[in-house]
Structure 1
Amino acid sequence: MRNAPIKITCLSLLLVVIFINSYLLFKNGFQTSSLLLSLSILTLCSVFALLIVATFLSDKRPLQFEHLFNEYPIPMWIYEKATMRFLSVNNAAVEKYGYNRKDFLNLTLKDIRNEEDIPLLLENAAERCNGDEYRGIWKHRKKDGTNFFVEIYSLPAVYYGKNARFIMAKDVDAQMRAAKEARELGIRYELLAQATNDAVYDKNLVTNAVTWNHGLHNLFHYNSHDETDLVQWWQDNIHPADHARIISSLDSCKRAHLNYWSEEYRFKCADGSYKYVVDRAFIMYENNIPYRMIGMIQDIDKLVKQARQLEEQNETLKEIAWINSHEIRRPVVSILSIAGLFDKSNQDLHLNTQLMEWLHESTLQLDEIIHKIEHKVKALQ
């Protein structure tokens, strides 16, 4: 019975008033009946007023609690401990899980779990939900079959005389998936760092701390005791001619909230020389702020130098081809022309002498061009 203690108290006061009035009437007769009647009516009115006010005040608290329960933005419910049946659910739970309130009250906790998770649910309910507070992370299932992770806050309760539990279920699916992704990424990073000779790094973009694998020593001959644990050290060892371009590229990538970044540049070795490298990285963000950068620096110095050597060889071959098609043709044409002018009867000695001199000059020109080609061929080799 609602407000039973208040009603019993008022009823007791009423009985006391009736008893006192009856006693006074019996003792004093009806001479004072008008006065007693007035006092009795006044007393009864006071009692009923007290009853109404007390009832109104006592009924207001459950209504306030019920409103807070129903309108709270996080899913909440009350279930019977013995049967695991839902006794009451709030609006957030109805919206989150996809069941209407009537459907919810015909379900049990088992109906919002996957089949394989039910044995663990029963074990947990038996061992940890015995009058104590409980907090844990579980996987729940919506009406449409979608699974998501929630953090459960559980308290013991008595609901209309039934032994029950009060539950608040906070959605932590995004945090759990992010944690799982970070854990898997960390595992991949560790495996990669051990399997490759490349310089693998993990940069904390908040503290500017850097962790390197053994590749830093293998490629650039830096030791672990060198001050290589800061982002500034990496920046300081970029070739001066490449520094502004690389820093600008990385800053632009972070401002655009891009995850992947890649650049080629020259990096300083421990002996002061520079190597061409390619740097590829994955950048992670939280609230659009970059906080972690995992990447790999590969030595491409030989490839770059080979590519440049091939470019130089191609340029040399182009030059040789141009010499063959232009410079050699000139003395050869001259020699052929001069040879056709000789006086075969040898009667004009002066002409033949002049032609011999011209032929000699053209031959020298041809020999010079041939030596030039030989020099370029040796350069290619």
Structure 2
Amino acid sequence: MLNKFSASAKLYLLLFITAVSIIALGLYGISDLEEMNQNTQKLYADRVLPFEQLSNVRFAYTTEILPMAQKVANRTLSFSDAAKRVKQAEETINYNWGRYRKTYLTREEALLVKQTELTKQKADEQYAELLILLTKKDNNALEKFIQNENYAGTAPFTVNLTHLMKLQVKVGKQLFTENNKIYHTTSGRFIILISVFLAIALLLSLYIIKNVKTLITSTLKANYIIKASEEKYYSLFEQASDAIYVVNFKGYFTQVNNSMCQVSGYSREELLTMNIAGLFNEELLKIYPLQYMAAKPGDSVIAERKMVRKDGAIIDIEINGKKFADDRILVILRDITARKAMEAELTNAELKFRTLADKSMVGIYIVQKGKFVYVNPRFAEVFGYEPSELIGREPVEAIVHPNYQATANENIRLRIAGEVDSVHYEAMGKMKDGSANWVEFYGSRTIFEDEPTIIGSMIDITERKIAEEELKVSEKKYKLLFESNPVPLWIISKEDLSIMAVNEAASNLYGYTKEELLNTSVKQLRPKEDWNLQLLSYQKQITGAVDFGVVKHLKKDGTVIYVNIISEDILFEGRPVRISSTADVTEKLKAEELLKKSEANLQTILNTTDTAYALLDRHLNVLEYNDIALVSAKREFNFDPQNGGKLFDHLPAERRAEFSGYINNVFKGNTISYEVTYDQPDGGDIWYYVKMFPISNKENEILGLVLAISDITERKHAEQSLQQAYERIKTNIGFIRGMIWKQSHILRSPLANLKGLITILQTDPDDQEILAHIKTELDRMDAVFIEMAQDSSADDMNY
């Protein structure tokens, strides 16, 4: 039956049977592959992606949340950086957990997810509390948080995540088993079908081969096919993007394509008349001599050289030539000027990198396959090595202190494994002599020469670490000084007027506890009517310590006190704050008020008294005086304290020495008093009572003296008048004594006579003569009394 078909038909039949067989096998395979593909999609979408999402959640929780409190407590991380990382980790956890919840969940997996949700809620509460503590920057609360039971062992949330990840692996393994079963089943069936179709094809092919031999004759007759092929060759020759030319054994061009004309700048006609040497000048031929004559037939020559274009430009070319048996040479030429420029730029860039790296003050390193492949001089210098001593060595063992080798190894592993792209951490280094230093590493992962590579930089931070330790000591001293200072001290945020720090003296003065004051507004210490003034004060920028004077404050119980505020603006934990001291001057102001009243009363007394008072220092400068003292000084000595000078210089020369002696005696601690008189221009005189007493301090050091001067002129005049009256009295008393003596003698005679007559009359009361004599004597006494009365009013008796 097959004999009726032509050879071509038989070939087509063979091709048809083969195609049908392949299509049948393909359709059969596609159905099984479709099933395997669906399983694979399930494996990826429902197991691999969820595994990745759960891994991201666990990694963010275990590395960016759980250890944050301890890192801040160890001061390896600041509060602000830790808070930022916790927020980022929280976003990562919520995003990946939400995406995972949307994937397909088995019944067992859905139950475990509900349990994990409960532990996640507790974990959310945990890092929400941690975020609050980091924001408040409360070290004490952070220490309590670290001692929480969550740090006692593995976190429940982490345990549940691990179970879910294991469940993904378990379900994925089941899908893998199903795919493997499909694979083996399909493979067996394919072998059977292929064997059947191969047997049919072989039998049919053997039969057809016999008939194909007859085709050879007819094929020879089809030379036109070769011509068509040549035409295709010429078409390919002309349309090729690379320059192609053929030269004979003398070097003359026999064929050139359009690309060759474009590269050389010559036309086809010009090139076909030229020798290949015409494209190279003498200098280029000396450097790159032509070698086509030395080549053997069948040999290929590949080389790079320079060629001169028609316009004189020299370009870089790459040639690939082959010599034929007839000594013709076919050459494919490519313009590589741009590539050479790129290579030159690459070489220049590498030279710049080498120069920059070798001269850099920052350590630069490259690690491949776990060893240093490059370190710059600065990197080696930091650890006491030469670069050649480190290249080829393992980085961790060579330069990292044993206490930090585990951390360094983990950071290298994470980058090599592609889990992270870059790291930044501090570690204690190990120098060549065994001593330790501190370094800061920055490193990134890249692929260099098809090999995972770590490229990074390093900075020596030993001095910074020493400074940080000194800063910690300084901070402790500051804190001790701040807390134990007897003066109330405050640190107030200028942004919201919240109290950031306060010492015991402040809380005791105002009646609050420190906890009541912290993070509350300082406005509560001022009356409401003063709040605007207070706000304006905090809005001002001050440099250095500024005394804001005395302001009114309120204690917790509402008691009004007056404090003197001294403040200065500084930066505290990166925030603008104002540190202030508040000295209670309430009692001082009361005492000053009383003192002012006392001074006013004293001045009133001094200015209303008739005694002149003056306060002089040891140099006899007048410090204080009352009004009458000023009047007396101007009147007696023409001295005005406002004009300067000393009172001592205005004393009369004859009294200055005596006054100096008195002052020296006062400065020895004695009190001096004396009376002095001054002659007046009108011929009279004026008398003063002078008293001087020393002024000393608690150490009995004499600081000056008080001079009290009283005008005693009237008293002195009164004393003189009394003295004159006394002298007159003495004179009158003498006169009276003489008069009394005289009168006593005059009166004694009639009195004696009267005594005798009375005695006689007692014996004879009727004796008239005796009575007449008594009458005569009485008259005599009466005359004496009249004379005494007249003498008492005489002009020579003065009183």
Contact 2:669 2:702 in 1 (8 A): no
Residue 339 (structure 1) aligned to one of 750, 753, 759: 750
- 1:311–1:244 CA distance, 2 compared to 1 (3 A): farther
Q: Which residue of 1 aligns with 2:647?
A: 230
TM-score of the superposition, structure 1-length normalised? 0.56
Q: Which residue of 2 aligns with 1:354?
A: none
Determine whether 1:208 maps to 2:624: no
Which aligned pairs between 1:78-97 and structure 2 lie closer than 5 A? 78-94=491-507, 96-97=509-510
Q: Which residue of 2 aligns with 1:67?
A: 480
Contact 2:552 2:563 in 1 (8 A): yes
- 1:141–1:222 CA distance, 2 compared to 1 (3 A): same
Q: Which residue of 2 aligns with 1:45?
A: 403
Q: Which residue of 2 aligns with 1:155?
A: 569
Residue 275 (structure 1) aligned to one of 687, 704, 714: 687
TM-score of the superposition, structure 2-length normalised? 0.31
AA aligned to 2:647 is: L
AA aligned to 2:569 is: L
- 1:42–1:282 CA distance, 2 compared to 1 (3 A): closer
Structure 1 residue 105, shift from structure 2 partner: 2.8
Query: What do you get for the CA RMSD once the two structures are aligned?
Result: 6.3
Which aligned pairs between 1:299-318 and structure 2 lie closer than 5 A? 299-306=711-718, 309=721, 313=725
Which aligned pairs between 1:158-169 and structure 2 lie closer than 5 A? 158-159=572-573, 161-169=574-582
Structure 2 residues without counterparts, runs of 5 or longer: 1-71, 82-362, 373-392, 405-426, 430-437, 440-461, 758-779
Q: Which residue of 2 aligns with 1:102?
A: 515
Aligned partner of residue 4 in structure 1, secondary structure: coil
Residue 4 (structure 1) aligned to one of 77, 92, 95: 77
How much identity, in percent, do the aligned residues show? 16
Aligned partner of residue 477 in structure 2, secondary structure: helix
Structure 1 residues without counterparts, runs of 5 or longer: 9-15, 26-34, 254-261, 345-358
Bigger RCO (CA 8 Å, 6+ sep): 1
AA aligned to 1:222 is: F
Aligned partner of residue 164 in structure 1, secondary structure: strand
- 1:130–1:192 CA distance, 2 compared to 1 (3 A): same
Aligned partner of residue 748 in structure 2, secondary structure: helix
AA aligned to 2:477 is: Q
Distance between the aligned counterparts of 2:703 and 2:666, measured in 1?
Answer: 18
Q: Deviations over 1:123-147 (max 9, x none)?
A: 4333xx3253433322454748474
Aligned partner of residue 168 in structure 1, secondary structure: strand
Q: Indicate the structure (1 or 2) with the bigger Cα radius of gyration.
A: 2
Aligned partner of residue 500 in structure 2, secondary structure: strand
AA aligned to 1:333 is: S
Residue-pair matches, total:
333
Distance between the aligned counterparts of 1:239 and 1:331, measured in 2?
Answer: 59
Aligned partner of residue 102 in structure 1, secondary structure: helix
Q: Deviations over 1:84-122 (max 9, x none)?
A: 332212344345555442344376444445666555434
Q: Deviations over 1:307-344 (max 9, x none)?
A: 664587589779978987x7765443322221245699
Structure 1 residue 157, shift from structure 2 partner: 2.6
Q: Which residue of 2 aligns with 1:348?
A: none
- 1:238–1:42 CA distance, 2 compared to 1 (3 A): closer
Aligned partner of residue 138 in structure 1, secondary structure: strand
Contact 1:282 1:294 in 2 (8 A): yes
Structure 1 residue 166, shift from structure 2 partner: 1.4
AA aligned to 1:136 is: F
- 1:205–1:131 CA distance, 2 compared to 1 (3 A): closer
AA aligned to 1:45 is: N
AA aligned to 1:338 is: S
Q: Which residue of 2 aligns with 1:266?
A: 676
Q: Which residue of 1 aligns with 2:537?
A: 124
Distance between the aligned counterparts of 2:521 and 2:651, measured in 1?
Answer: 58
Contact 1:75 1:169 in 2 (8 A): yes
Distance between the aligned counterparts of 2:658 and 2:582, measured in 1?
Answer: 56
Structure 1 residue 158, shift from structure 2 partner: 2.9
Structure 1 residue 252, shift from structure 2 partner: 4.4
